[in-house]
Structure 1
Amino acid sequence: MPSDSLRRFGGYLRTRWASPRRIRFWLLALVIAYTLLGFLIVPWLIQYLAVSTAKEDFGRELRIEAVHVNPYTLTLRIDGLALDDTDNRQLLGWQQLFVDLAWSSALNGAWTFQTIRLDRPMIHEERFASGKTRFSRLAPEPSEDAPTEDEASPLPALQVDELRVTEAALRFTDNLPGGVTETDQPKRVSLALEELMLSASDLSLQEGARFPVALEGQLEGGGTLAFDGSLQLLPTAVLAGSARIDELALNQAQPYLRQFANVQLSDGTLNLDGRMQTGAEQPFAFEGSAGIKTLNINDGSNQDPLIGWQSLHTKKLDLNLGERRLETAPISLNGLFGRLIINEDRTTNFSQLMATAPANARAEDDGAARMDDTDDETAPFDITVEGVELTDGTLRFADRSLPLPFSTSIHTLNGQVSTLSSSSAQPAQVALEGQVADYGLTRVDGTIHAWHPMRDTSLKLRFRNLQIPEYSPYTVRFAGRRIAGGTMDLDLDYTVSEQQLDGRNSLVLRDLTLGEKMAVSDAMDLPLDLAIALLKDSNGVIDLDLPVTGDVGSPEFDVGGVVRQALTKTIKSVVQSPFRFLANLVGADSEELGRVEFPPGRSDLLPPQRERVAKLREALTQRPELALELTGPFNHTFDGPILKRGKAIDALRQRLAQADRETGEPNLTAEANQDVVETMFTTHYPEADLAAIRSRFTEEQGDSSEDTGFDALAYRNHLADRIIAAQSITESDLRALANARATAVQQALVDPGADNPIDSNRVRLQDPETIESVDGERIAMEVGLAAD
């Protein structure tokens, strides 16, 4: 009987449940259920769990516009996600997240994604004055009863074929501690990285696996960032590749700088381009080019300029934190500017810049210092700079502590400093040259050890043609007398070895004239009128040697006091032994008179050169047997561009005159001359299409407007540049310029309206001379001497 029941039950299954019709039914039902679950239930469940978890576990509001799941392609799309903090500020969000999970994940035992794409994500982090951040507040508070895990759970196997983040925005707000603003309130700083693009391929969590990564973005405050390289996530993160920073605005760091110094970083941009690497064994390494342009640092109290430059650049910057090493190729520093002021109380403008740190920050620093005392001595940082090239620098100095306020400046400062190394005992070579005031010259040569200047330094400072009346404040303090007239040459030779100073100062005064007396309590009582009468030779020259020695490491050492004592001793010795002094006098040097310099393409004498020619004329009146030979110089590369411009302007003047129009000082870019300039342009470039050229300087004003904007000035500048470039310069033009230069010097020498004019037969013009190369901004004419 039981066997009959089993047979009947088996027959029932075959006819009712195992029939092809029934199998198709259940397969269809399974497909429908899978479809409903994937397309409807799973999206709702994801959105519900995400919103409820954010609310219950984190106390935050999470909003999601839509969740789309395709169970057949295994794709997930989440649109319009936004997570708010407790104060309703958005923490993070995105426009769209798209995830494409590969079916192979079920076979290879790893989460494998063909594509993960995140569009317009936004993350806003903020650090509060307490030190906490918005994201750190999401983490649960540590509990003493919470169990500790011995080992971290292993990460799941993961493979992403393509990861792409587009138009991301990372925003950071920092609430700096109080005491840095006038209201003593926390200062809020906002930084933002926008238009961030991130791409990666073959991303893997397998140990030792590296995959390519590319990133680029721009800072809201100015500057762009880019990276292209590789990333390893396990066992430790390793990032390596090419990195670039373009025009990063440094004033974004101003609030942080004010924490340490009372200065205003008003301008400056950073540029970096090279390769970087960071990892467990290498904290950070970078090798490439670097530069900072248009840096301006002002006094935070009165906005007076302190220091800055037009550009600083090096072709190689090698920074290695692991090896504690910094190396650079020669640094080009253009347009350096510095300003030093000695106040009435003898303090300087730099000594008052350091900001007072808040009490809690000072306490942290003290604690860190005590901890450092217990640590092993940290290896020193090895710094090597392969030289500094300085061009067009300016240093301004003012001393308000003197009876008469004094100020001067050194400008057009150029020169070089050789390799600076903190690990070598070899000092650096220094060679600098600049202009003091209107006609003065300064030069610095020698050696200095940048890290140990008191150990090994040897410098020679040369000052030429300084106007002595400008230095009356120092003579008033020294001897109670103003200086009415005269020039000064000063040679300062200083050698410091193991803090011992051995120096000689050579002072040459020309045509020194004393002024009125002034009552100064600490001035020396010296018979200056008698001393000057003895020291001045028939040419009005005073030549003094002043030795300077002492221990620069001594707190009592004052180089100014030592120089003052030496000068006092010299003057007293001259007054006390006048005939012995007169027996040891030497002549004066006048080698600078043999060079007259001209700017490119010009033959007029600039003020310094007019003064030089005037001094040359004065010297010749005392040497009647000498004649001058003037050979006008020229150089095609140096003079050609300016001559071309002059020819173009002459051509414009001629065309204006032919059209009976006002010539005056014709301007190639003036609007009134545009038609004539266009005619000149088509003459030189007959095949050019002016309409096409105009279109290059025309742009639409808006998407919905048919109006266009024409940049007429840029258009005229373009035509002018092309016209100038079309001019031809001949050998005859250059020789005529050279002759004009020689003639200008000749006329200045024989000018009957000048003091002590020279006879014309003593100034002879020679055939022009071509100069093979010109260094700097001037071409020099070497003056020759001949017997008359």
Structure 2
Amino acid sequence: MFEVNLPASDEEPAVESESNWSIHLPSINMNESQLHWRSQYTSPAVVEVSRINLELTDLSWPPVGETNLGLSLTINNIASLSINGGIFLQNGAGKLQYKLADLQAAWFNPNIPEAFRAKITRGAVGVEGQLALVDFSPDRLQMDGAVTDFSGIIEGTEDALTSWDSISWRNLDLSLSQHSVQVKVLKLDRYAGRLHIYEDGTVNMQSVLQEEVELAREGGDLPEESAAEWTFDFPSIYIIDSQLDFKDESLPINFRTVIGDLNGDITGLSSRPESETTIDLKGSVDGYAPVVLKGAVRPFAETAFVDIALSFDGVDLVRLTPYSGTYAGHAIDRGILNLKLHYLLDGNQLKGDNSAVIEQLKLGQKIDSEKAVELPLQLAIALLTDMNGVIDMDVPVSGDLEDPEFGLGSAIAAAFVNLISKAVTAPFALLANLAGSEEDLQRVNFQSGASAIDERARTQLADLVAALQQRPAVNLVLFGRLHPRADKERLQRDHLDVELQAAGLSTEDIANKSPLWADVIRARYRQLPGATDTNADGSEVTIHTQYQQVVANIDINDEQLKKLAQVRAVAVKRYLVNELQLPANRSVIELVDVHAEENIFSGVELGVDI
């Protein structure tokens, strides 16, 4: 197992005084050795260290020059460790190159406090780099590495607390003497975290973490603050295809959603007070509603500074029924919310701009909740909803964070209890930016019942074509859309006008509602089933009411509505091709479903394809 190579010599060693003894060993080797190590800090408790190979060269006493070290071994037939380098035994200085591969994170489960009730189910650690020694102690550690295929769970549940494909770092530089850490690049690849709010309002592991801290404090186990504070720098943090699973059980109706497809970067994170950290993250809610978080913070500045913008696009209000039920006392049957938030914190002064647009909001059944606000919601919605069925609100928030009466969470909740995020369709936001347009280029609006393109639509389409010229691989999909109630009523009115003209009325009679027009309407009204000249209170049924009843009884079928939607799509394509010279193969019309949920406005909705 051991091999010592001594220098060859035919001479008898001279007898010298003890102070003049010297030793030089060219090499010491230990080959293919094994170690069985029982430890309470690992699982399994017995660690099998095998294939141990150690080589020391140029070992002298008194110490002279550099002694070279080479070590390799295998742990539990899975992980491997190799160390190579040199040490100056006379002063303890040295540099070692090391490489650790496939170290199983689950082996260290016994080190997780019992109160956490958590365990690591899988994960492998791999690192390599250089270690500098001063006085035989580590002084500077440089490393590249990664923890891959990791998963941790709370015991007794099937759900992973967190998992990821890879958390990797490059150019980690840790200085023990200078108390500093720098990681040039940190990447989180396919990270999956979970934020779980329990019935009592606590968050995953919040209570057990507090319990551990309290126990440690009572036992005097908390370390004292170091005289020299540590500094750190993380210039670049990249987040790739990650997600956050959010679950809230504190509501009468449990809520769960996934913020996924998270991609972006966090740059400039540092302990330096003057440093500013920038955040640029993009993702989606439930796989289809874009979400963007962007801004800057100074986390360690003496004066607090936060400048953050958050936007959501195309969130279906029905998904937020657990919150509307809790805080508004109603379920939501239908609606789309678009939301933009921007918060600026400078010192203690907070300013927030919240812009929300809700389309086609329809409240559902009433839900009993002690937290529901006491507001006449139906009246509020009627006051806020315009003739197109849109609620458009700008809600500023401001206050002093040192004011005990001010709470950011309650202020935001109060402002947006009936609102949900504004939909921003990412591709068309990009195209609008390319064209320098502030218009929503995804929707082309038409008058109810009409299929003619107006001037605003022409401007929108011109901006869109200008953007498409900069994106030659992007094509358009045209979806004819309907507002079922408004379009049907307009078609009914138009159909009635045609019948009235056929009956001999002039366009002036119809436009001015002449006496002849009124006579014809009365005659038609009396032919309706159940028609009566008086109301239940004995008052006379007005000519306006009779006209509305006549209109409502004109039959408009699904085919007529479908034809209107298709004609609108054809009108848009005709204008794109004939007037704006967009190649015909760069836009295609898709078949319309009259009963599709997307039919909430009169016009044409645009999609993109390649």
* TM-score, scaled relative to structure 2: 0.69
Residues 290 and 424 of structure 2 are in contact (CA less than 8 Å); yes or no, is this contact kept in structure 1? Answer: no
Check 1:422–1:350 CA distance in 2 against 1; reply closer, same or farther (3 A cut). same
2:477 to 719, 740, 745: 745
State yes or no: 1:421 paired with 2:270: yes
Once the two structures are TM-superposed, the CA of residue 589 in structure 1 deviates from its matched residue by: 8.2
Q: How does 1:388-403 map to 2 (within 5 A)?
A: 388-403=237-252
Matched residue, 2:125: 270
State yes or no: 1:257 paired with 2:112: yes
Check 1:399–1:252 CA distance in 2 against 1; reply closer, same or farther (3 A cut). same
- 166-175 or 749-758, which moves further after superposition? 749-758
Matched residue, 2:583: 766
Residues 3 and 30 of structure 2 are in contact (CA less than 8 Å); yes or no, is this contact kept in structure 1? Answer: no
* SS of 1:483 mapped into structure 2: strand
Once the two structures are TM-superposed, the CA of residue 748 in structure 1 deviates from its matched residue by: 7.9
* SS of 1:476 mapped into structure 2: helix
State yes or no: 1:468 paired with 2:374: no
In 2, Cα distance between equivalents of 1:154 and 1:443 = 74
Matched residue, 1:477: 326
Check 1:192–1:630 CA distance in 2 against 1; reply closer, same or farther (3 A cut). farther
In 1, Cα distance between equivalents of 2:96 and 2:426 = 56
Matched residue, 1:247: 102
Q: How does 1:327-406 map to 2 (within 5 A)?
A: 327-354=182-209, 362=216, 366=220, 372=224, 378-406=227-255
Q: How does 1:502-513 map to 2 (within 5 A)?
A: 502-513=351-362
Residues 630 and 783 of structure 1 are in contact (CA less than 8 Å); yes or no, is this contact kept in structure 2? Answer: no
Once the two structures are TM-superposed, the CA of residue 519 in structure 1 deviates from its matched residue by: 2.0
In 2, Cα distance between equivalents of 1:300 and 1:452 = 39
Structure 1 gap segments, 5+ residues each: 1-95, 111-152, 177-185, 572-586, 597-611, 636-734, 770-780
* SS of 2:13 mapped into structure 1: helix
What amino acid sits opposite 1:227 in the alignment? I
2:22 to 151, 154, 157: 157
Matched residue, 1:170: 35
Q: How does 1:165-314 map to 2 (within 5 A)?
A: 165-175=30-40, 189-220=45-76, 222-235=78-91, 237-258=92-113, 261-280=116-135, 283-314=138-169
In 1, Cα distance between equivalents of 2:272 and 2:190 = 29
1:316 to 159, 171, 174: 171
Between the two proteins, the alignment pairs up a number of residues equal to 485
2:397 to 541, 548, 551: 548
In 2, Cα distance between equivalents of 1:755 and 1:406 = 39
- 451-460 or 399-408, which moves further after superposition? 451-460
Once the two structures are TM-superposed, the CA of residue 387 in structure 1 deviates from its matched residue by: 1.6
> CA offsets per residue over residues 676-696 of structure 1, 9 Å max, x none?
xxxxxxxxxxxxxxxxxxxxx
Residues 484 and 513 of structure 1 are in contact (CA less than 8 Å); yes or no, is this contact kept in structure 2? Answer: yes
Once the two structures are TM-superposed, the CA of residue 247 in structure 1 deviates from its matched residue by: 2.6
Residues 283 and 322 of structure 1 are in contact (CA less than 8 Å); yes or no, is this contact kept in structure 2? Answer: no
What amino acid sits opposite 1:448 in the alignment? V
Residues 454 and 552 of structure 1 are in contact (CA less than 8 Å); yes or no, is this contact kept in structure 2? Answer: no
Q: How does 1:423-462 map to 2 (within 5 A)?
A: 423-451=272-300, 455-462=304-311
Structure with greater contact order relative to length (CA < 8 Å, sep ≥ 6): 2
Matched residue, 1:409: 258
In 2, Cα distance between equivalents of 1:362 and 1:494 = 37
* TM-score, scaled relative to structure 1: 0.54
Residues 595 and 782 of structure 1 are in contact (CA less than 8 Å); yes or no, is this contact kept in structure 2? Answer: no
What amino acid sits opposite 2:13 in the alignment? L
Once the two structures are TM-superposed, the CA of residue 246 in structure 1 deviates from its matched residue by: 2.1
> CA offsets per residue over residues 336-364 of structure 1, 9 Å max, x none?
111111111111113144396699x9599
What amino acid sits opposite 2:453 in the alignment? P
* SS of 2:220 mapped into structure 1: helix
In 2, Cα distance between equivalents of 1:527 and 1:489 = 23
- Whose radius of gyration is greater, 1 or 2? 1
In 1, Cα distance between equivalents of 2:228 and 2:346 = 26
State yes or no: 1:515 paired with 2:327: no
> CA offsets per residue over residues 30-86 of structure 1, 9 Å max, x none?
xxxxxxxxxxxxxxxxxxxxxxxxxxxxxxxxxxxxxxxxxxxxxxxxxxxxxxxxx
The structure richer in helix per residue is 1
In 1, Cα distance between equivalents of 2:14 and 2:361 = 96
Check 1:530–1:756 CA distance in 2 against 1; reply closer, same or farther (3 A cut). farther
Residues 258 and 264 of structure 1 are in contact (CA less than 8 Å); yes or no, is this contact kept in structure 2? Answer: no
Once the two structures are TM-superposed, the CA of residue 747 in structure 1 deviates from its matched residue by: 7.8
In 2, Cα distance between equivalents of 1:476 and 1:559 = 21
What amino acid sits opposite 2:220 in the alignment? D
What amino acid sits opposite 2:273 in the alignment? S
Check 1:108–1:390 CA distance in 2 against 1; reply closer, same or farther (3 A cut). farther
Matched residue, 2:525: none
State yes or no: 1:624 paired with 2:453: yes
In 2, Cα distance between equivalents of 1:592 and 1:315 = 33
> CA offsets per residue over residues 266-310 of structure 1, 9 Å max, x none?
122222222111232753322232222222222134242122321
> CA offsets per residue over residues 520-553 of structure 1, 9 Å max, x none?
2332221222222222223332122223334546
Q: Aligned residues: percent identity?
A: 23
Check 1:514–1:169 CA distance in 2 against 1; reply closer, same or farther (3 A cut). same
Check 1:300–1:539 CA distance in 2 against 1; reply closer, same or farther (3 A cut). same
> CA offsets per residue over residues 116-147 of structure 1, 9 Å max, x none?
xxxxxxxxxxxxxxxxxxxxxxxxxxxxxxxx
Check 1:591–1:352 CA distance in 2 against 1; reply closer, same or farther (3 A cut). closer
Q: How does 1:93-104 map to 2 (within 5 A)?
A: 96-102=1-7, 104=9
Residues 617 and 756 of structure 1 are in contact (CA less than 8 Å); yes or no, is this contact kept in structure 2? Answer: no
